[in-house]
Amino acid sequence: MENSLTSKLPVEPSPVVVCSLKSHNCSLSQRERVLYFFSLPEWGRGGVQKYIQNLTYLMNTAKFDKIISMIKILVISDRKEKCDYFCAIFPKNTYEISCLSDENLIYDTVSADNPDIIIIDTLINSLKHLNKKIKNLCPNSIIIFLTASNKIDKDLIKYANAFLTEDMSDDFILSTINVNLRMKNSLEMLSNSNKDLADSLYRLNALYSTSSQFSGTLDKAKLIQYMIEGMDKALSFSLTCTLSFCTEEEPVLILNSLYELSDELIEALKLRTVLNYNSLFDGKNPPVTVNSDNLKVVKQIKYPASRFTFSLFRFDNMFAPISLGENFFGCVEIFKEASFSPDDATCFQTIAQQVSLPLKSATLYQEIIEANIKLAKLERLKSEFISIVSHELRTPLTSIKNSLDILMSGRCGEITEAADKFLSMAMRNVQRLSGIINDLLDLSKIEAGKMDFNFAPTNINTVIDYVKSALSEVAKSKGLTILTQTEENIPDITADAQRLEQVLTNLVSNAIKFTPENKTITISSKLINSKDIHVNAYFKDTVKLKDGDYILVCVQDEGIGIAEKDLLHAFDKFAQIENSLSRKAGGTGLGLPIAKQLLEAHHGAIWCDSELNKGSEFYFAIPAANVLSTV
């Protein structure tokens, strides 16, 4: 089995590393590749780091000629001539024959050597319990009985694969044995295929359950954990080293191992991971610098009572990066005492690839969450800021206002006309400032969901009358007339009258501000079904009216109007600031957004129609059957 690592690891052992192949007891199944970790005994603790360049991994392709296994035959007989006979008829280069009669020796040989064929002489003394024990000790061996005559002891049938009689010819005996051998081979092949099939099924199952786990979470640490668990299920490894960049800020090396790892071994694995990681980038600078100092190790040990030792580390391994396109999340290497099959390699790659996609989604998801947290924090800071600022502003403002009051009352001496003019100017601006602070506070309260509403049966016409009388003086001073066209018989709604007054006062004040002299401002009200309400195209998306009756209020002016491009932003916070004319007119630009929020608390809506230099119509609608249990 070849994997990407072979070419990337240092092949030459450094001079101080002594390596020996003597200890390498390689079996047939492990002849592909053997991995060594070397250390000098005098290194001791910390020595590994000191000898960074001395530590190396020798990738040794140990090529063993295929040993053709001999067919092992055990003859159990206490008759020397029979033993000699069998030794003579089997060709020596294909068959390895042993003849035994001592009971204990027989058991030892049978269990240690696992012969392919056992030929038992039925004339041997301890035959009865011998059969049973042999069958138990090596159930896969073929047992053939040698009988003196054609008569067969019925007790023997359940143990026997075949019978030979002593008068049979050599050829007959050999062919009987060959037939049985072929049968044994076929059975073994079948059993192996079955085992492979079962393995594949199991692996498929593991892959399936892992991938469904992947799709179930957006937690990166969990995804990495699921990957490791999936590999454990599908490949039953001894040790994995997972380098992960995505679970914490620092690179993390997750060592998931069957047994406890010594400190030296952990250091070696860290170095190995660093080398692996750097080798992925072919000499270019990797996106994150990883070295054994900044690598945080997380150990997950299955059986902490036992321990892997450093010098005996001789495992097969596989390595894969965890990445998707440009996104690099880490890499994973797994070790196993037995060697990995090509199927194992495919399965391993599949899992490493499978985890990359959810990791990418998780990264995006995390970015969104972080952005949201940041936004929420900013929003809270803004609210707090507004609240603190307005509190801090209010106190000095009170002092200024009080002083002005005292001066203007004449209690500190007579005031000249000019002085009065400037004192009034100062007073007007104090009032304006305090209005702005109130608006800011209102808005931050509404946005924080802390605005208290006092809902009670309210008639909209009463609100209109109140606002008209409150503002008619101001209007008159500007040469404007406020007219009302209210429909009688408008039903009461459940609403906070004070807040509705605030909304309407805002709209009418705006109309007064932006309307030139000698013009008219009209406030109208009517009961109307939502399907007869026409909201212009600019507000189609934001104004959503439900089916049913609404109370519609309109404030119409003959003022400067709003340009088409600004219509949509009329209800945005501080929208007015952009408009130089409004600066002349004064105001914070918070009146309309506050009105919008207050109406939304009444399940209502606000919008406007306007034509530049002709005038504006501001509408708001509140459901006639307004049931406001909770707002």
Q: Which residues bind another protein (CB under 8 A)?
A: 383-384, 387-388, 390-391, 394-399, 401-403, 405-406, 409, 411, 430, 434, 441, 444-445, 448, 450
The residue among 267 and 439 lying less far from another protein, judged by its C-beta, is: 439
- Euclidean distance between CA atoms 541 and 32, whole angstroms: 69
Kindly list the distances between the CA atom of residue 615 and the CA atoms of 273, 608, 612, in Å, as whole numbers in the listed order: 73, 11, 7
Nearest approach in angstroms of CB 453 to another protein is 14
> How many Cα atoms are found within 13 Å in the side-chain-facing hemisphere of 254?
22
The residue among 398 and 518 lying less far from another protein, judged by its C-beta, is: 398
Kindly list the distances between the CA atom of residue 539 and the CA atoms of 536, 594, 611, in Å, as whole numbers in the listed order: 6, 17, 15
- Euclidean distance between CA atoms 268 and 56, whole angstroms: 9
Distance of CA 273 to the CA centre of its chain: 23
Nearest approach in angstroms of CB 613 to another protein is 38
The residue among 410 and 457 lying less far from another protein, judged by its C-beta, is: 410
Closest CA to 568 of 549, 528, 596: 596
- Euclidean distance between CA atoms 252 and 218, whole angstroms: 19
The residue among 409 and 630 lying less far from another protein, judged by its C-beta, is: 409
- Euclidean distance between CA atoms 237 and 514, whole angstroms: 79
Cβ atoms within 10 A of the Cβ of 107, count? 15
Kindly list the distances between the CA atom of residue 470 and the CA atoms of 316, 404, 461, 492, in Å, as whole numbers in the listed order: 90, 24, 14, 22
The residue among 218 and 397 lying less far from another protein, judged by its C-beta, is: 397
**Token pair recorded at residue 462:** 């009463």
The residue among 93 and 399 lying less far from another protein, judged by its C-beta, is: 399
Nearest approach in angstroms of CB 438 to another protein is 9
The residue among 35 and 404 lying less far from another protein, judged by its C-beta, is: 404
Nearest approach in angstroms of CB 393 to another protein is 9
Nearest approach in angstroms of CB 414 to another protein is 16
The residue among 252 and 430 lying less far from another protein, judged by its C-beta, is: 430
The one-letter amino acid at 20: S
Nearest approach in angstroms of CB 467 to another protein is 21
Q: What is the DSSP string of 194-212?
A: HHHHHHHHHHHHHHHHHHH
Cβ atoms within 10 A of the Cβ of 57, count? 21
Does residue 401 contact residue 258 with C-beta atoms inside 8 Å? no
In sequence order, which residues have a C-beta less than 8 Å from that of residue 479 and are 6 or more positions away? 517, 518
The residue among 80 and 380 lying less far from another protein, judged by its C-beta, is: 380
Phi-psi region of 215 (alpha: psi -120 to 50; beta: other; left: phi over 0): alpha
Nearest approach in angstroms of CB 378 to another protein is 17
The residue among 387 and 484 lying less far from another protein, judged by its C-beta, is: 387
Nearest approach in angstroms of CB 420 to another protein is 17
* 100: β partners: 76
* 162: β partners: 144
Nearest approach in angstroms of CB 395 to another protein is 5
The residue among 165 and 387 lying less far from another protein, judged by its C-beta, is: 387
Look up tokens 């949201």; give the residue: 372
Exposed (0-12), middle (13-18) or buried (19+): which is 435, by Cβ within 10 Å? Answer: middle
Nearest approach in angstroms of CB 384 to another protein is 8
Exposed (0-12), middle (13-18) or buried (19+): which is 581, by Cβ within 10 Å? Answer: exposed
- Euclidean distance between CA atoms 308 and 302, whole angstroms: 12
- Euclidean distance between CA atoms 87 and 81, whole angstroms: 10
The residue among 84 and 405 lying less far from another protein, judged by its C-beta, is: 405
Nearest approach in angstroms of CB 597 to another protein is 16
Nearest approach in angstroms of CB 376 to another protein is 17
Task: Give the 3-state secondary structure of residue 619.
Answer: strand
The residue among 437 and 503 lying less far from another protein, judged by its C-beta, is: 437
Q: Over the Cα atoms of the chain, what is R_g?
A: 46
Nearest approach in angstroms of CB 424 to another protein is 15
